């Protein structure tokens, strides 16, 4: 069983992960609409990963003998001014998620829940990777500026990203 505070914090994080999925799905639609299919692909992969993250937490809560109460997912934005603005928002969002994961770690330490603390280490590592990926793309977009050829090349590069489902050990 989970401590009530821990259970509530994890349940809130399930909602955060599914909102992340909605946000990236909306960003994928935006990129499709403006003709950047590679960017759309990158965000679609991100969407699928966030669903995996939400399900990982969902399944963890269930594995601890608890029920999961799902919350309403707020509507994400649908329009942005530029690809750079999208990725700056993506980085800001991932930094928010990092803060949320750190809060979960704090709660696990506070209630002395070693199993949950251990479970959350995977998410700590994942957040480092998420933020690094976003920063790299932001740097590339800033370097490209208004160069259409550069944007085309980056779009082609981002189009090669593929979704890799979590392994049984990770899920």
Residues with Cβ within 8 Å of 84's Cβ and at least 6 positions away in sequence, in order, are: 138, 141, 142
pLDDT at 153 over 90: yes
pLDDT at 84 over 90: yes
pLDDT of the residue at 25: 98
pLDDT of the residue at 169: 87
Question: Which CA distances in Å does 69 have to 11, 12, 52, 134, 171?
Answer: 7, 9, 18, 31, 20
Mean pLDDT of the chain: 97
pLDDT digits (tens, 9 = 90+) for 24-76: 999 999 999 999 999 999 999 999 999 999 999 999 999 999 999 999 999 99
What does the pLDDT average to over 74-84?
Answer: 98
pLDDT of the residue at 24: 98
pLDDT digits (tens, 9 = 90+) for 93-146: 999 999 999 999 999 999 999 999 999 999 999 999 999 999 999 999 999 999
Tokens linked to 154? 């980056």
Domains and CATH numbers, the chain: 4-158 (1.20.1260.10)
Residues with Cβ within 8 Å of 116's Cβ and at least 6 positions away in sequence, in order, are: 2, 6, 10, 60, 64, 104, 108
pLDDT band at 79 (very low <50, low <70, confident <90, very high): very high
């Amino acid at each position: 069983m989970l401590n009530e505070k821990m259970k509530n914090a994890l349940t809130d994080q399930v909602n955060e992960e599914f909102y992340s999925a909605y946000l990236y799905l909306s960003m994928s639609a935006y990129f499709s609409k403006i003709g950047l299919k590679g960017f759309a692909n990158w965000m679609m992969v991100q969407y699928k990963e966030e669903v995996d993250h939400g399900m990982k937490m969902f399944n963890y809560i269930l594995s601890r003998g608890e029920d999961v109460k799902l919350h309403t997912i707020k509507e994400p934005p649908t329009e942005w001014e530029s690809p750079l603005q999208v990725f700056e928002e993506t980085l800001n969002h991932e930094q928010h998620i990092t803060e949320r994961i750190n809060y979960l770690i704090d709660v696990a330490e506070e209630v002395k829940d070693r199993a949950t603390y251990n479970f959350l280490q995977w998410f700590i590592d994942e957040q480092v990777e998420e933020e690094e990926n976003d920063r790299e793309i932001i740097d590339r977009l800033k370097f490209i500026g208004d160069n259409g050829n550069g944007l085309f090349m980056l779009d082609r590069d981002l189009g090669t990203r593929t979704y890799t489902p979590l392994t049984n050990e990770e899920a």
